[in-house]
Amino acid sequence: MLLPHLETLNILSTPVWVVSAHSQHILFANTAARKLAGNSLLGPLRNGQFSVHSQLSLESYLPNLAKDDQIVEIWTIHKEGRAFPLSCRLSSFQMDTNETVIVFEGAHTSAANVPMPIPGDTPYRRDESGFYERLFQTNTAPMLLIDPANNGQIVDANQAATRFYGYTRDEMCTKHTWEINAMGLDVLPVMHEISRLPGGHKPLTFVHKLADGNLRHVQTYAGPVELNGVRLMLCIIHDITEQKRLEQELEHAALRDPLTGLGNRRQFMQLVENARTQNPQRTHNFSLMLVDADHFKAINDEHGHNTGDDALVMLARTLETGIRESDTVFRWGGEEFLILLPLTPLEGAMHVAEDLREAVQQLSRPGLPALTVSVGVAQYEAGEDFTSLFKRVDDALYRAKTSGRNQVQAG
């Protein structure tokens, strides 16, 4: 599908966003979407006050979407000075450019009046001998019955839930969802939005509080159920804390250089992309610095690779201690290090670079060879993409190397 063909989505009254699964950029928003959320970037929509999703990376949804699984996310919409949740259904397709995109179709809702459930006249009563009660209590997964029309009152909890949360059944039934959810009262509009869904969708991820104060990452499936004429939500909880911990450890390892412990190229690209989509003002008026250890091949050849590794670690620590608190240093590859200097014009970046060059030149460690570095510096220019910015930094470094090394050049 070509972008002009997406214009046909403007005839829909429901908001639609077309998003790149890889870059997580909004490629197109129809008229209804722009009217609802303006030109908002994806970051504030997916990570706002009421936002809930099951996967941080959009690409993680693709296998399930290929099987036509029902997936929803709750977004945060800001309009006319107030925020409210919007449920979105996800689908995917491949554009003519072979880029896979995800379509977010929002439920038609009014920013001025988010409907709230109307309390029923008949309260829920347990049927201790009924089939549902036996099924509910013998299930090994924690399960809660919630009344969305009564501010998320928990009206029942099975034995697995009481063991998981650490409350008795009666204690659980004195609580509301916002008392066990780390979102607090902000979960109420989210709950009301979820209660309007027909069910059958993949679970969403929350953080729940236990009786002892511990926090647990959980995936919750919430679907409508009617018992004795009372419309409730059945919430099934799966503890994914250990899974989250392993994911975070793997992600941390994938973003770090194993030798120096610095962030790697992938972490830098992720940081820049997150800043561009979630905090655009931080992507202006910054500078980049590319630092290269001079004659490093000779160090490896003469002293061996173990000594070369020790020299790189020493250089990394020197750069870390020499930069400002707001700056970040990454190992770019080999003997090259990239330094990000937020809110820093070229003149300020040149001063930092010169200080670092002098600090490296003065290094003296027993058993390690003397080091010097060449440095290229460039300031971001409005409208510039990263490729052209990095080329200017790299060209400046090349001039520093070819002009005698152990110096700083601006690009």
Alpha-carbon torsion (198, 85, 229, 174), positive or negative: positive
Residue 335 designated active-site: yes
* Residue of 73, 335, 336, 354 with catalytic role: 335
What tokens appear for 239 in the block?
């503890």
| CA gap 212, 221 in Å, rounded | 24
> Cβ(290)–Cβ(394) under 8 Å?
yes
Phi and psi angles of residue 55, each rounded to the nearest 5 degrees, phi first: -135, 135
d(CA 49, CA 97): 34
Q: For residues 221 and 34, give the distance between their C-alpha atoms in angstroms, rounded to a whole number.
A: 30
Burial string for 350-376 (b: 16+ CB within 10 Å, else e) reads: bebbeebbeebeebeeeebbebebbbb
Answer for the pair 157, 169: CB distance below 8 angstroms, yes or no. Answer: yes
Maximal CA-CA distance, the chain: 88
d(CA 267, CA 255): 5
- Report how far residue 91's alpha carbon sits from residue 89's, in angstroms, rounded to the nearest whole number: 7
Tokens 């729940």, located at residue: 208
Select from 84, 80, 97 the least CA-distant residue to 22: 97
Give the number of C-alpha atoms closer than 13 A to the C-alpha of residue 390, restricted to the C-beta side: 12
Phi-psi region of 111 (alpha: psi -120 to 50; beta: other; left: phi over 0): alpha
Q: Active-site residues: which are they?
A: 335
